[in-house]
């Protein structure tokens, strides 16, 4: 198994999108990329911890490639909005790929460059591509939040 970590706005909808992908074995929502140790959701919502809401994906590379996970990431949010997705705004909602290996970094950069060259977006892509840092799991009630409520997505 391998890990991949993505930030693409509110983690509830991002997690739901990845949970539907064949080859994804587990997901967890949490926080990464900030300076506060063991932040709570309430802490992160202050926009003062520096953390992004993330989904950590455990996947079987024999069933799905990291490149395919990147395609899911790009397709499920607007990577041109800085620190915002839909009605949610703040640095915790930024678009970011947290890579776990040099291979993931190279694949993330290549996928971003390909998307930029495609002219799919009229605005620049603002997605950060940064090394994975400490992952802090969000409180239990956030895990599989939409599934627990019988919902499939929270996209606008």
* pLDDT of 155 higher than 60: no
154: in domain = no
Active site residue 10: yes
Q: What span, in angstroms and rounded, lies between the C-alpha atoms of 46 and 7?
A: 17
Within a domain: 11: yes
Q: Is the pLDDT of residue 145 over 80?
A: no
- Residues with Cβ < 8 Å from 72, sequence gap 6 or more? 17, 18, 21
- Residue range of the domain that includes 81: 2-148
Q: Quick check: is 153 in a domain? A: no
Residue 21 confidence (pLDDT): 96
Q: At residue 156, does pLDDT exceed 50? A: no
Overall domain count for the chain: 1
Residue with the bigger pLDDT between 86 and 51: it is 51
Residue 131 lies in a domain: yes
Model confidence, pTM: 0.93
In a domain, 155, yes or no: no
**Token digits for 65?**
């490639």
Domain membership of residue 48 (yes or no) is: yes
**Rounded CA separation 33/97 (Å):** 10
- 34 close to 44: Cβ distance less than 8 angstroms: yes
Distance CA 88, CA 105 (A): 27
Q: What mean pLDDT is predicted for residues 68-79?
A: 96
The stretch 101-108 carries a mean pLDDT of: 98
- Decide if 156 is inside a domain: no
Instruction: State the CATH number of the domain containing residue 45.
Output: 3.30.1060.10
Q: Specify the range with the lowest mean pLDDT, choosing from 16-20, 92-96, 124-128, 147-151.
A: 147-151
| CB distance 135 to 56 below 8 Å | yes
Predicted local confidence at residue 144, as pLDDT: 80
Dist CA 21 CA 137 (whole Å): 21
In a domain, 100, yes or no: yes
The band of 152, judged by pLDDT with boundaries at 50, 70 and 90, is low
Residue 101 tokens, joined? 């290996």
- At residue 132, the pLDDT reads 98
Is 87:156 a contact under the CB 8 Å cutoff? yes
At residue 146, does pLDDT exceed 90? no
pLDDT bin (cut points 50, 70, 90) of residue 153 is low
Q: Of residues 4, 7, 10, 17, which has the active-site annotation?
A: 10
Confidence (pLDDT) at 55: 97
Q: If you average pLDDT over residues 115-126, what whole number do you get?
A: 94
């Amino acid at each position: 198994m391998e890990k991949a970590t993505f930030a693409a706005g509110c983690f509830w909808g991002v997690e739901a999108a990845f949970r539907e992908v064949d080859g994804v074995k587990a997901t967890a929502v949490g926080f990464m990329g900030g300076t506060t140790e063991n932040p709570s959701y309430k802490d992160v919502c202050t926009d003062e911890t520096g953390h992004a809401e993330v989904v950590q994906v455990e996947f079987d590379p024999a069933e799905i490639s990291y490149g395919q996970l990147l395609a899911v990431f790009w397709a499920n949010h607007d990577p041109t909005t800085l620190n915002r997705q839909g009605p949610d705004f703040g640095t915790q909602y930024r678009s970011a790929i947290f890579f776990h290996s040099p291979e993931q970094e190279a694949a993330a950069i290549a996928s971003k460059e390909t998307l930029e060259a495609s002219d799919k977006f009229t605005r620049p892509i603002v997605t950060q591509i940064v090394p994975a840092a400490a992952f802090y799991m969000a409180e239990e009630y956030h895990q599989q939040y939409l599934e627990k409520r019988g919902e499939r997505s929270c996209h606008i």
